[in-house]
Amino acid sequence: MQQAALEMERRDVQDATAFAIEFQSSEEAVRMLIVDDDPSVVRLLSDRCACMGFDVATAATGMQAFLRVSRNKPDVLVIDVNMPEVDGLSVCAHLMAQDRAPTNVIVITGSRNPDTLDRCARLGASYARKGPNFWSDLEAALAEINPRLAGRVRRSGSTEPEIRRRPCVLLVDDDNDIHRMLSSRLEKCGIGIAYASDGHNALGIARRNEPAVIVTDYFMPNGDAEYLLTRLRADAATAAIPVIVMSGRHLSEATDQRLRREISGHPGAAHVLRKSEGNAALFETLKQFCGFEPERTGPAEVWSRSYN
């Protein structure tokens, strides 16, 4: 009986050793790059995927992701759609064009826009939608990518903290200083940022990213704020997005009324603000749409100077 017990213990040790070797081999073979501009999401994904047995590296922007993949292509790329400067799907498209795309791509998105999901399909990417089913979507995609780790993937943790969609603000302005100044404060409030330099580019970005609100300059090349509002309200995918118009110049009462008027049965501009008012009015307005507490460190007068 003692001999049988010793034999069972020996087999358990052998099985455990074999699993450890297989796990280590799989871990070394399956390199993952996680790309998201939200540090809390990166931390949750990194911890969980490391427990699943993936060798994890991270990037905070699309440009960082492009450079890291170009230098050392991972086996799996997990990338958020909505990021500043370069969105995740554009990164994937550029990598494919240069024949540098990883074999396996999982796109993280909070969007239900058919165009976004269609772009994922055209890129041959899986996707995990931020929300209640995020972890099950992600685990299913990862288990399909590496069946050897399927069991490990599904046993990776008993708790599943929710990955929620991060509120996104689309900034439309041809002034890069305004982009940098606004994005710095918004990111401290936990808000995602998308950029466009004019009304024409803003239309496509708004359809793909589904921002919680659009903040746009009035005077821009290739489509001013009135052009942008008219086009947004004519498209069912963007018709309901609130728009805040800002201008460093005085706008006439007639222009103000045109911006606020109803368009195709949808509201016009939610607010029309002067840039010289500083950040207080803008951030109080954004709080209504994004549900954040303004980050109050730093003198408000800096914002007034930046807008002048």
Closest CA to 298 of 189, 213, 142: 189
Give the Cα separation of 185 and 265 in Å (integer): 34
**Cα-trace Rg, the chain:** 24
- Higher per-residue confidence, 137 vs 85: 137
Please tell me the predicted confidence (pLDDT) of residue 303.
Answer: 33
Q: What does each C-alpha distance from 260 to 29, 138, 243 come to in angstroms?
A: 57, 42, 10
pLDDT digits (tens, 9 = 90+) for 167-184: 889 999 988 888 788 877
Phi, psi of 43 (to 5 degrees): -65, -45
pLDDT score of 142: 86
168-307 matches 25-154 in CATH topology: yes
- Residue 216: its pLDDT value, please? 94
Q: Is the dihedral of CA 193, 272, 174, 118 positive or negative?
A: positive
State the CB neighbour count (10 A cutoff) for residue 305. Answer: 10
- Measured between alpha carbons, how far is 30 from 152 in angstroms, rounded to an integer? 13
Separation between Cα atoms, residue 130 and residue 229, nearest integer Å: 28
Look up residue 47 and give its two tokens.
């911890």
- Superfamily of 168-307 according to CATH: Response regulator (3.40.50.2300)
Residue with more model confidence, 94 or 16: 94
Domain residue extents for the chain: 25-154, 168-307
pLDDT on residue 155: 52
Amino acid type, 51: C
pLDDT at 276: 62
What CATH class does 25-154 carry?
alpha beta
Residues 6+ apart with CB under 8 A from 307: 178, 248, 275, 276, 277, 278
Of 113 and 94, more confident: 94
For 66-78, the pLDDT digits (tens) are 889 988 889 999 9
Q: Does pTM top 0.85 for this prediction? A: no
Confidence of residue 153 (pLDDT cuts 50, 70, 90): low
The amino acid sitting at 298 is G
**pLDDT: is 3 or 264 the higher one?**
264
* Beta-carbon count within 10 A of 245 CB: 26
